[in-house]
């Protein structure tokens, strides 16, 4: 029998790391100072918080003490980049004269949480974060970290990936070392999310569930997570009375489902759209997903219904102005996603998703 972790292609036995401590419930964010008191004796704490929370007031509620560092991260212009993470790491080591923190906390959507994950790894691993993009490349144990999602869907809070963009690729640091040690889920924190953003990030979650459950890398664990995640997402976006509590749990389970399976054709193609055209992950997924009914015949019609019920209009013709070189970058990016594509389409995925086929799908978007 093949004994496998995350590296091979015959996945009969899986070793999966889970988030060891989850704090869930409305009002839990107010309890943060109590939670942190367990870690204070080990040193200072670093907070990475999404700049959107200057407006919501969360920045002012961060229980930082005098030695702590608070970074307000601007996530509007781009998703996390390798250079950005390297600079943050270098700056922290310089400011603190090499003294490492007791805990790192990411407060925000996928971007702020991914930055906190990446910095936790890079404070104990040498060189550029570029060196660790890939599967199980992290050598040293990271700094302890905590995720506090204020936007739900990406599943970053439960996943073993830290997605970063470099110049020529958007790729994850896929490693158990990317996983949070603590996740605090307070549905009250979702109250200020604009509807459009809630939809696109929520669809990322729906798509994680779809890709995980339709892929051949799925196992019983992943399937249970995916099924429940899809059900909760459906409750929210098919307007069946779903709440922020439902969405928050859906996101966590969606992240866990991908950890126990793989993404699929949607993610393999949406990374190219984000890399070349700069569309954010959730929206890029939606732009791709609506053209992939041939691969996901059961779910794309449901997605169209969700668009309609939530009054969402997707942009058309986004690839119209893409030139030959840019199309080559997008195609190359898709071809890097061998694992999700193998899970979705089988070992011979290159025969199905030929370069011409990829180009023709992109052209429709």
Closest approach, Cβ 295 to Zn ion, in A, equals 16
Contact region for Zn ion (CB under 5 A) — 99-107, 111-119, 201-209, 345-353?
201-209
Closest approach, Cβ 165 to Zn ion, in A, equals 14
Closest approach, Cβ 281 to Zn ion, in A, equals 6
Closest approach, Cβ 211 to Zn ion, in A, equals 9
Residue number, 26 or 227, with CB nearest to Zn ion:
227
Closest approach, Cβ 19 to Zn ion, in A, equals 17
- Torsion, Cα of 164, 96, 180, 156 (10° steps): -30
> For residues 234-253, which are near Zn ion according to CB under 5 A?
none
Number of residues that bind Zn ion (CB under 5 A): 1
What character string, x for contact with Zn ion (CB under 5 A) and - otherwise, covers 204-233? x-----------------------------
Contact region for Zn ion (CB under 5 A) — 11-19, 199-207, 292-300, 335-343?
199-207
Edge-first strand listing for the sheet containing 163-165: 134-135, 170-174, 163-165
Residue number, 204 or 262, with CB nearest to Zn ion:
204
Residue number, 101 or 155, with CB nearest to Zn ion:
155
Residue number, 35 or 337, with CB nearest to Zn ion:
337
Comparing every residue's Cβ against Zn ion, the nearest one is: 204
Contact region for Zn ion (CB under 5 A) — 73-81, 176-184, 198-206, 239-247?
198-206
Q: CA–CA separation, 31 vs 80, rounded Å?
A: 29
Residue number, 142 or 155, with CB nearest to Zn ion:
155
Residue number, 68 or 204, with CB nearest to Zn ion:
204
Closest approach, Cβ 178 to Zn ion, in A, equals 14
Q: CA–CA separation, 122 vs 345, rounded Å?
A: 34
Q: If you count them, how many residues does the chain have?
A: 365
Contact region for Zn ion (CB under 5 A) — 39-47, 180-188, 202-210, 222-230?
202-210
Closest approach, Cβ 233 to Zn ion, in A, equals 13
Q: CA–CA separation, 73 vs 197, rounded Å?
A: 18
Residue 135 backbone dihedrals phi, psi, to 5 degrees? -100, 120
Contact region for Zn ion (CB under 5 A) — 50-58, 111-119, 197-205, 271-279?
197-205
Residue number, 186 or 204, with CB nearest to Zn ion:
204
Closest approach, Cβ 262 to Zn ion, in A, equals 12
Q: CA–CA separation, 255 vs 251, rounded Å?
A: 6
Residue number, 79 or 246, with CB nearest to Zn ion:
79
User: Could you list the residues that contact Zn ion (CB under 5 A)?
Assistant: 204
């Amino acid at each position: 029998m093949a004994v496998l972790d995350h590296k091979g292609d015959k996945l009969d036995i899986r070793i999966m790391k889970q988030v060891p401590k989850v704090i869930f419930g409305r009002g839990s964010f107010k309890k943060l100072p109590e939670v942190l008191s367990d870690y204070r004796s080990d040193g200072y704490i670093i907070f990475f918080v999404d700049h959107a929370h200057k407006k919501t007031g969360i920045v002012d509620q961060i229980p930082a003490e005098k030695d702590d560092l608070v970074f307000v991260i601007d996530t509007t212009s781009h998703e996390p980049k390798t250079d950005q993470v390297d600079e943050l790491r270098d700056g922290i080591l310089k400011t603190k004269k090499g003294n490492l923190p007791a805990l790192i906390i990411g407060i925000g959507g996928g971007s702020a949480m991914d930055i906190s994950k990446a910095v936790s790894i890079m404070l104990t691993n040498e060189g550029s974060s570029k060196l660790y993009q890939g599967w199980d490349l992290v050598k040293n144990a990271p700094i302890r970290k905590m995720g506090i999602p204020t936007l739900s869907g990406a599943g970053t809070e439960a996943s073993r990936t830290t997605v970063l963009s470099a110049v020529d690729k958007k790729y994850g640091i896929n490693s158990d070392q990317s996983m949070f040690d603590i996740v605090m889920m307070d549905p009250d924190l979702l109250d200020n999310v604009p509807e459009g953003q809630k939809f696109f990030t929520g669809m990322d979650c729906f798509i994680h569930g779809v890709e995980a459950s339709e892929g051949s890398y799925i196992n019983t664990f992943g399937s249970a997570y995916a099924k429940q995640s899809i059900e909760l997402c459906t409750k929210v976006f098919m307007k069946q009375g779903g709440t922020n509590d439902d969405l928050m749990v859906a996101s966590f389970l969606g992240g866990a489902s991908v950890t126990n399976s793989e993404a699929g054709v949607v993610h393999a193609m949406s990374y190219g759209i984000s890399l070349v055209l700069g569309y954010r992950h959730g929206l890029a997924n939606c732009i791709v997903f609506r053209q992939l009914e041939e691969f996901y015949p059961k779910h794309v019609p449901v997605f169209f219904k969700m668009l309609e019920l939530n009054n969402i209009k997707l942009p058309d013709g986004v690839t119209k102005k893409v030139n030959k070189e840019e199309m080559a970058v997008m195609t190359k990016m898709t071809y890097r996603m061998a694992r999700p594509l193998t899970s979705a389409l089988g070992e011979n995925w290159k025969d199905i998703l030929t370069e011409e086929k990829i180009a023709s799908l992109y052209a429709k978007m």
